[in-house]
């Protein structure tokens, strides 16, 4: 048994986590990662062999919600031990050191381990007034982010502020707040975990994937892991059958609300929001916003403070709403018009994504690559002789 393996098993024992609990955790992680259950054995084997990756955690314009999510005040679990396999060298909120001493630790890691450490960024990065809105140890957040993320092996933007700018970037964005992709152009291996805050289950699953497969998982156009952001809230929602049947909550506390009817008319943005909340849930898997009777406000999507408000107004463009006056009529519309509704949702979502793609470097890169591929394909299709000659 290697020293690392010994350390890990000893840690399980010290914290009272049984082997059975640990295997259960690995199976649950396989589920979050959308891998077959058989992957649990490989996850368990790889995690036990792993060496501690070094992690630094930067906090800029934020409310500390992602650190809270990371620290999760519940009893020690296998997930905590996995997160503890990370050697967190710098996290200004939780580390004992403070001031210059703490700052030295951060830049020592950057200097001594270039390309070998991971960085988590929490909070947006203000660029207005030469970066003066957020400074740490006399340096601007922008300067620190560019240096620390620029030399990291990978950067994880945790939460919607670090990912897309979040609340600080909401109009009129007085501080010129940006997410990491825009503030640190060209940053290598950037992974976005959007949401307000990001779910620690997804952060844990991301590390488990990396520790198991030694590379990062496939990402969407916003650089979010597909295992967590590949499907809309609406696709997996427990109230979806009510949406399909035309059964909607019409007012807070009405019979539909008490029965668990669909929250679409109360402003639910689940049809245009992508995250695994219905499956993974929150607070140790106990519940999630829609499960508690509140509409999804789209917190995982870019510019949600501007684009998803008013939060309690339903999405536009779906035929039937505002016309049908009773459940039967809505039900009739739902029966014949549900395809159109999904087309409308899909269109809205696509339009939203397209609009953002003009401004988001990661999405722009993908769009340019897709365009190049389409042009190459068109060229090959237009000239089969040339294609044949080249092959």
Cβ-based nearer residue to ligand SF4, 161 or 237:
237
Q: Segment 243-302, which members bind ligand SF4 (CB under 6 A)?
A: 243, 262-264, 268, 270-271, 290, 296
Cβ-based nearer residue to ligand F3S, 43 or 296:
296
Q: How far is the CB of 194 from ligand SF4 (least distance, A)?
A: 17
- What, of ligand F3S, ligand SF4, none, does residue 275 touch, CB below 5 to 8 Å by kind? ligand F3S
Interacting residues of 175 by C-beta distance below 8 A, sequence separation 6+: 61, 126, 127, 128, 129, 133, 134, 168
Which of 240, 281, 294, 366 touches ligand SF4 (CB under 6 A)?
Answer: 240
Say how far apart CA 179 and CA 167 lie, in whole Å: 11
Q: Among all residues, whose Cβ is closest to ligand SF4?
A: 270
Between the alpha carbon of residue 75 and those of residues 30, 56, 80, 215, the distances in Å are 22, 24, 9, 30
Q: How far is the CB of 230 from ligand F3S (least distance, A)?
A: 14
Instruction: Provide the β-strand partners of residue 274.
Output: 232
Say how far apart CA 247 and CA 256 lie, in whole Å: 7
CB 325 within 8 A of CB 315: no
- Residue ranges that bind ligand F3S, judged by CB under 6 A: 195, 233, 273, 275, 277, 288-290, 296-297, 299-300
Q: How far is the CB of 15 from ligand F3S (least distance, A)?
A: 29
CB 90 within 8 A of CB 57: yes
Q: Among all residues, whose Cβ is closest to ligand F3S?
A: 296
Residues 317, 303, 228: CA angle, nearest 5 degrees: 90
Say how far apart CA 161 and CA 196 lie, in whole Å: 8
Q: How far is the CB of 211 from ligand F3S (least distance, A)?
A: 26
Q: How far is the CB of 158 from ligand SF4 (least distance, A)?
A: 24
Interacting residues of 251 by C-beta distance below 8 A, sequence separation 6+: 257
Between the alpha carbon of residue 297 and those of residues 49, 82, 250, 260, 312, the distances in Å are 41, 31, 17, 17, 8
Say how far apart CA 277 and CA 268 lie, in whole Å: 14
Q: How far is the CB of 80 from ligand F3S (least distance, A)?
A: 22
One character per residue 296-335, x = contact with ligand SF4 (rule: CB under 6 A)? x---------------------------------------
User: Which window, 41-49, 56-64, 233-241, 318-326, contacts ligand SF4 (CB under 6 A)?
Assistant: 233-241
The residues that touch ligand SF4, with contacts defined as CB under 6 A, are 233-234, 237, 239-240, 243, 262-264, 268, 270-271, 290, 296
């Amino acid at each position: 048994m290697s020293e690392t393996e010994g350390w890990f098993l000893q840690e399980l024992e010290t914290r009272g986590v049984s082997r059975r609990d640990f295997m259960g955790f690995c199976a649950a992680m396989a589920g979050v990662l959308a891998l077959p259950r058989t992957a649990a054995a490989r996850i368990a084997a790889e995690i036990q062999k792993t060496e501690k990756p070094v992690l630094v955690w930067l906090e800029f314009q934020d409310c500390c919600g992602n650190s809270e999510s990371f620290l999760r005040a519940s009893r020690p679990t296998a997930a905590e031990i996995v997160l503890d396999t990370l050697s967190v060298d710098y996290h200004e909120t939780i580390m004992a050191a403070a001031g210059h001493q703490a700052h030295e630790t951060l830049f020592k890691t950057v200097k001594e381990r270039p390309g070998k450490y991971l960085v988590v960024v929490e909070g947006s990065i203000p660029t207005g007034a030469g970066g003066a809105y957020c400074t740490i140890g006399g340096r601007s957040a922008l300067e620190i982010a560019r240096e620390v993320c620029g030399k990291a092996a990978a950067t994880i933007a945790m939460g919607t502020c670090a990912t897309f700018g979040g609340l600080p970037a909401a109009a009129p964005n007085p501080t010129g707040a940006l997410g990491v992709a825009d503030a640190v152009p060209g940053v290598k291996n950037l992974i976005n975990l959007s949401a307000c805050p990001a779910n620690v289950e997804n952060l844990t699953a991301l590390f488990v994937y990396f520790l198991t497969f030694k590379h990062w998982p496939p990402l969407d156009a916003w650089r979010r892991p597909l295992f967590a952001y590949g499907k809309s809230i609406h696709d997996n929602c427990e109230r979806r059958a009510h949406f399909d049947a035309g059964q909607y909550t019409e007012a807070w506390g009405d019979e539909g609300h008490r029965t668990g009817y669909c929250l679409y008319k109360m402003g639910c943005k689940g049809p245009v929001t992508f995250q695994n909340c219905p499956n993974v849930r929150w607070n140790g898997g106990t519940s999630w916003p829609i499960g508690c009777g509140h509409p999804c406000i789209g917190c995982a999507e870019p510019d949600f403070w501007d684009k998803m408000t008013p939060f309690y107004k339903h999405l536009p463009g779906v035929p039937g709403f505002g016309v049908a006056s009773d459940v039967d009529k809505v039900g009739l519309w739902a029966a014949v018009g549900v395809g159109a509704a999904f087309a409308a949702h899909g269109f809205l979502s696509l339009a939203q994504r397209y609009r953002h793609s003009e401004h988001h470097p990661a999405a722009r890169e993908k769009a340019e690559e897709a365009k190049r591929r389409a042009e190459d394909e068109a060229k090959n299709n237009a000239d089969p002789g040339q294609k044949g000659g080249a092959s």
